[in-house]
Amino acid sequence: MNFKDFFDQKNFILFDGAVGTQTYIKGISKGHCYDELNISMPEVVLEIHHEYIKSGVNVITTNTFGANRFILEEFFSLGQKAKEINYYGARLAKRAAKKDVFVAGSVGPISRPLGREKKIPTQETAQIFQEQIEALLEGSVDLLLFETFADLDELLLGIQTAKKLDSNIFIIAEMSFPNNGLTLFGKNPYEVSLILDKTGAEVLGSNCGIGPQSVFQAVKKMGSVTAKALSAMPNAGLAQFVQGRFIYPSNPDYFAKYGKKFLDAGVKVLGGCCGTTPEHILALSQILEGLCPRKRKIITMEVAEKKVVLKEEKITSNLKLLLEKKGVIALEVDPPRDSDFDKILKQLEPFAKNVDVFNVADSPMARPRMSPISTGRLLKESLGKEIIVHYTCRDRNILGIQSDLLGASALGLENFLALGGDPPSIGDYPFATGVYDLTSEGLVEMMSALNRGRDILGNPVGKQTQFFIGVGMGIGFEEAQEIEKAKSKLQKGAHYIITQPIFDVDASCLTLQSFQKKGFLVIPSVLPLVSFRNAEYLHYEVPGIVIPEDLRKRMEQKKGKEAEKEGVSITKDIIAQLKPCSNGILLMPPLGKYYLLEDILS
């Protein structure tokens, strides 16, 4: 019997639960590629399939959720094995199923929202789907399960690709609604269901989410506007990280009771997602025995075309006005290594009358310091000057970044420099984990979206922010590449550029003027040299800094305080030459030697 005939004859269809959770329970760490186990540890995958078959399922799913070329290559460098992993995933499931149960080929999303800066063209996405689905079909799966999709357009493309490969293949299409009952991109279950209803998918539904309650609400809404069969495969609940391991609620009885609610809502296909185990599925099988789904009442509804309204960006920063007038003097500040703010305040107070802006770094060289947001707020309160806050992607995930930015906006901090951040490996805690959920370009996109009243996924956030967004740029080292990166960031919402320290003025001015002609504001950085050793280090060991030979020779001829005076003299010459091709100057006192600024600022 083929699956379509079996489906038509059964009251309800019971799927298995989480394959990844069971793999994790068996001691395979999160760092391993679970899909690759189809090749390297097939006995583990077979054991999981057998455990679910014993729990009374009608269908088991292949261990191929993330087994597409893009994810395998980007995360595990296994892209060339995509076909092999999917084929053996299908064959392992068929071997376990024998003639007792059916096998669904698991197909997950290709893209990960914000997970990578690389944007995959539609044609390439279709090719990636095709490669995975062809291998699953070659491995003789009975149906396809598209699960945990966040992007409706991507799901539609996956269904279309599958039907082109096999017009008769049975398809279950599931979206996830974790965003207060919406997809990550803000689509509601009614809209999703109405659109999926017009595809070749035989069953529509929802999986993953927060737990049974959220999936129940989603499928009820989906079922009210489509006559197609429904599926529901919720998580066991919210996971907790306890003593180094992810733990889900142990709730098979509660999970099974929700199975009855799903049938009452007209759901025909049931199963489990993250955190569910054979115990959950067994409890579901036992409580549902002899029951059948209720008939649903379908209402007529049309998909209204939604127009995303972006608020007009409103930049109120006084720094913008100062830069447009030119002549701004900014001073870079490293926050204190402890909580003693008064110490840094005493160092900076003598220069406050000659400085327009304090530029607050974010744990430079990956060494822990006071938060730049806290330091910036305290400086603004104490000195009444404009503040630029450096903000890096190194230490925070997307949630933390957005929370910090909203908090900074509420504190009245508007000027930011979006940076990637020095990797933890070079700092005091080399064993610390760098997050890098976003690149600096992605950070610019997020801040620009918040300025227009949206998060980076396009969801409304209410009150818009007013960030004046800066980006960094190197000059002299891989300059062409640096310029292209800066241009891309400016196109995505940045407003001004701060360069790395400049020593070769003639070459740099041409670059700076090219940006100014396009209406962008530029702030070159100037770093006083203090010794010949310092000059050599910067030139040969710090990427992005080029010191001409004649300047290095000038420093070689001086020692001690004479070398510092020579460095100050060079700095003053550079500032004078840069003024016509810049909107301001950023002074970077080396090694905390603020006294060098006295002559420069006098």
The confidence score (pLDDT) of residue 117 equals: 52
418 compared with 310, residue with greater pLDDT: 418
Of the pLDDT bands very low, low, confident and very high (cuts 50, 70, 90), residue 175 is very high
Kindly state the average pLDDT of the residues 58-77.
94
**Integer angstrom CA distances of residue 552 from 476, 534, 555, 576:** 16, 10, 5, 19
Predicted confidence (pLDDT) at residue 565 exceeds the cutoff of 50: yes
Closest CA to 519 of 495, 500, 492: 495
309 compared with 487, residue with greater pLDDT: 487
Local structure of residue 179 (DSSP, 8 states): B
Closest CA to 89 of 52, 64, 60, 58: 64
Local structure of residue 596 (DSSP, 8 states): G
Q: How many CB atoms lie within 10 A of CB 135?
A: 22
The confidence score (pLDDT) of residue 86 equals: 98
Of the pLDDT bands very low, low, confident and very high (cuts 50, 70, 90), residue 116 is very low
* Strand stretches in 243-309, DSSP E: 245-247, 267-270
Q: What number of CA atoms fall less than 13 Å from residue 369's CA on the CB side?
A: 22
Could you write out the DSSP letters of every residue in 332-350?
EEPPPSSS-HHHHHHHHGG
Sketch out the chain's domains with CATH numbers: 3-288 (3.20.20.330), 318-530+579-601 (3.20.20.220)
Most confident of 249-258, 345-354, 455-464: 345-354
Q: How many CB atoms lie within 10 A of CB 49?
A: 25
Helix H or strand E encompassing 85 = helix 82-97
Strands 102-107 and 143-149: parallel
Kindly state the average pLDDT of the residues 23-33.
85
The confidence score (pLDDT) of residue 246 equals: 67
Mean of the per-residue pLDDT values of the chain: 92
Burial (CB < 10 A; 0-12, 13-18, 19+), residue 152, is middle
Distance between CA 100 and CA 35 in Å, rounded?
A: 24
Burial (CB < 10 A; 0-12, 13-18, 19+), residue 231, is buried
Burial readout 296-317 (b: 16 or more C-beta within 10 A, e: otherwise): beeeeeeeeeeeeeeeebeeeb
Of the pLDDT bands very low, low, confident and very high (cuts 50, 70, 90), residue 306 is low
Distance between CA 173 and CA 176 in Å, rounded?
A: 10
Q: How big, in percent rounded to 5, are the helix, strand and coil portions of the chain?
A: 45, 15, 40
Predicted confidence (pLDDT) at residue 248 exceeds the cutoff of 90: no
The confidence score (pLDDT) of residue 81 equals: 97
Q: Encoding tokens for residue 576?
A: 């004078």
Sign of CA dihedral 120, 123, 124, 129: positive
Q: Looking at 84-93, 125-134, 432-441, 504-513, which range is the least confident one? A: 432-441
Beta bridge partners of 386: 357
Q: Looking at 79-93, 235-249, 539-553, 555-569, which range is the least confident one? A: 235-249
Predicted confidence (pLDDT) at residue 151 exceeds the cutoff of 60: yes
Kindly state the average pLDDT of the residues 557-572.
95
Distance between CA 421 and CA 418 in Å, rounded?
A: 9
Predicted confidence (pLDDT) at residue 476 exceeds the cutoff of 90: no
Q: How many CB atoms lie within 10 A of CB 367?
A: 14
pLDDT tens-digit map of 515-543 = 999 889 999 999 999 999 999 999 998 87
The confidence score (pLDDT) of residue 241 equals: 63
94 compared with 396, residue with greater pLDDT: 94
The whole-angstrom distance between residue 278's C-alpha and the CA centroid of its chain comes to: 32
Beta bridge partners of 469: 416
The confidence score (pLDDT) of residue 307 equals: 64
Phi/psi for 534 (5° steps) reads -60, -40
The confidence score (pLDDT) of residue 130 equals: 98
The CA-based dihedral angle spanning residues 210, 215, 221, 223, taken in that order and rounded to the nearest 10 degrees = 160
* Strand stretches in 129-255, DSSP E: 143-149, 170-175, 203-208, 229-234, 240-242, 245-247
The confidence score (pLDDT) of residue 419 equals: 95
* Model confidence, pTM: 0.75
**Integer angstrom CA distances of residue 217 from 148, 295, 440:** 16, 17, 37
pLDDT tens-digit map of 390-419 = 999 999 888 899 999 999 999 999 999 999
Q: Looking at 143-147, 301-305, 353-357, 553-557, which range is the least confident one? A: 301-305
The confidence score (pLDDT) of residue 365 equals: 84
Q: How many CB atoms lie within 10 A of CB 540?
A: 10
- Percent of the chain's residues with pLDDT above 70: 96
The confidence score (pLDDT) of residue 308 equals: 62
Q: Looking at 79-93, 111-125, 256-270, 350-364, which range is the least confident one? A: 111-125
Closest CA to 85 of 106, 67, 104: 67
